[in-house]
Amino acid sequence: MTRAYNFSAGPATLPEPVLRQAQAEMLDWNGIGASIVEISHRSADFIAVAAEAEADLRTLLAVPDDYAVLFLSGGATSQQALLALNFASPGQVADYVVTGHWSKTAIRQASPYVTVNVAADSEAEGFRCIPARDSWQLSSGAAYVHITANETIHGVEFRGTPEIGDAPLFADFSSSIASEPVDISKYGLIYAGAQKNLGPVGIAVVVIRRDLLERSGQPRADIFDYRSHVARDSMLNTPPTWNWYLLGLTVKWMLAEGGAVEFARRNAVKSGLVYAAIDDSGGFYRNEVAAEARSRMNIPFFLPDETLTARFVAESKAAGLLALKGHKEVGGIRASLYNALPVEAAQALVAFMRDFQQRNG
């Protein structure tokens, strides 16, 4: 079997060694005579898997001891609502910086529970940049400030952590978590759906500074209370055990490969290759994001017309380059270059791009 290069934005490519290990262990995990997906989440066997996954993730992300780590179902979008319920009083202001589709989604999820202040918004510029920090209109006494570290659809990324004063900084890292070293201590909370850089769809990671859990937040059911999940080691209810197990295998693979430092190097190489192919094409390909805000994870680009775009998508798929069609919101082409995608995939894409331009330019 030959695996294609998968540029999907999520669910995204997983490391082949992880998939092969999961395949080998599917019917009989660890010699117990059953699959890990069949055993109780409260068994000693699975609790050991969960504890090891947390320890490895703490190492990978360099999570400080005064932060709790949760593994939850519901994905990043559910967390966007839970942030407001857990950390803001009813009607309290929360500041949001809008840099693309997922920033706007975060506001929609939180707005029933907080007074949203849009502190900065790049929509008028077509979400092609990060608003300059000195233009942000932050609120006095905000419950938190929320950013989207990387916009999967529009292809813009924060390079560095913004200084925001006393309010805790919350960030959606769904499509850039563990892609480079990040100083977690500069954030009050980070969260991420796993299905781009950490594992399969169906599980989310939340990293919370413990002192924030002392906030009363708003009336909410126990299942929506982060404090209850922390107290029960993410097992307040039955967790997505298969997804947690696969996440653990993926994180262990990343550590063995060299951790966030090594993946930052690889991601710089991959994105550099693709951006160079775009910039050196004489306008045949174009990326419209400001150079200083270009994402290393998601690269949207455009061809001269829709006929060529459709041809590019069809021919690239036939060449073993999958899922390059752009998101319906922006069109064009999108190459997602997550951690599990090898440098060879970016090289193959660039070779195809140059060949396609020679034949169609």
pLDDT digits (tens, 9 = 90+) for 120-147: 999 999 999 999 999 999 999 999 999 9
**CATH code: domain of residue 297:** 3.90.1150.10
**CATH code: domain of residue 109:** 3.40.640.10
State which residues form the domain around 275: 258-360
Please check whether residue 62 lies inside any domain of the structure: yes
Q: What is the pLDDT of residue 91?
A: 87
Total tally of structural domains belonging to the chain: 2
Geometric angle at alpha carbon 131, from 166 and 333, rounded to 5°: 130
208 and 302 fall within a common domain: no
267 and 251 fall within a common domain: no
237 and 285 fall within a common domain: no
82 and 128 fall within a common domain: yes
Peptide bond into 11 cis (omega under 30): yes
Spans of the chain, pLDDT less than 70: 1
Contact 117, 97 (CB under 8 A): no
The rounded distance, in Å, linking the Cα atoms of 143 and 218 is 12
Dihedral sign computed on CA atoms, order 48, 52, 53, 54 = positive
Please check whether residue 202 lies inside any domain of the structure: yes
Contact 130, 122 (CB under 8 A): yes
pTM for the full model?
0.96
Q: What is the pLDDT of residue 1?
A: 60
Q: What is the pLDDT of residue 114?
A: 96
At 234, phi and psi to the nearest 5?
Answer: 65, 20
**Where is the domain boundary, 256, 271, 292?**
256
Q: What is the pLDDT of residue 276?
A: 98
Neighbouring CB atoms inside 10 A of 352's CB total 19
198 and 99 fall within a common domain: yes
209 and 93 fall within a common domain: yes
338 and 219 fall within a common domain: no
- Calculate the dihedral angle through the C-alpha atoms of 228, 230, 236, 242, rounding to the nearest 10 degrees: 150
237 and 101 fall within a common domain: yes
Residues with catalytic roles: 102, 172, 196
**Where is the domain boundary, 256, 284, 319?**
256
235 and 180 fall within a common domain: yes
251 and 264 fall within a common domain: no
The shares of helix, strand and coil residues in the chain, as percent rounded to the nearest 5, are 40, 15, 40
Please check whether residue 4 lies inside any domain of the structure: no
**Where is the domain boundary, 235, 256, 277?**
256
107 and 223 fall within a common domain: yes
Please check whether residue 5 lies inside any domain of the structure: no
Q: What is the pLDDT of residue 196?
A: 97
95 and 236 fall within a common domain: yes
Please check whether residue 6 lies inside any domain of the structure: no
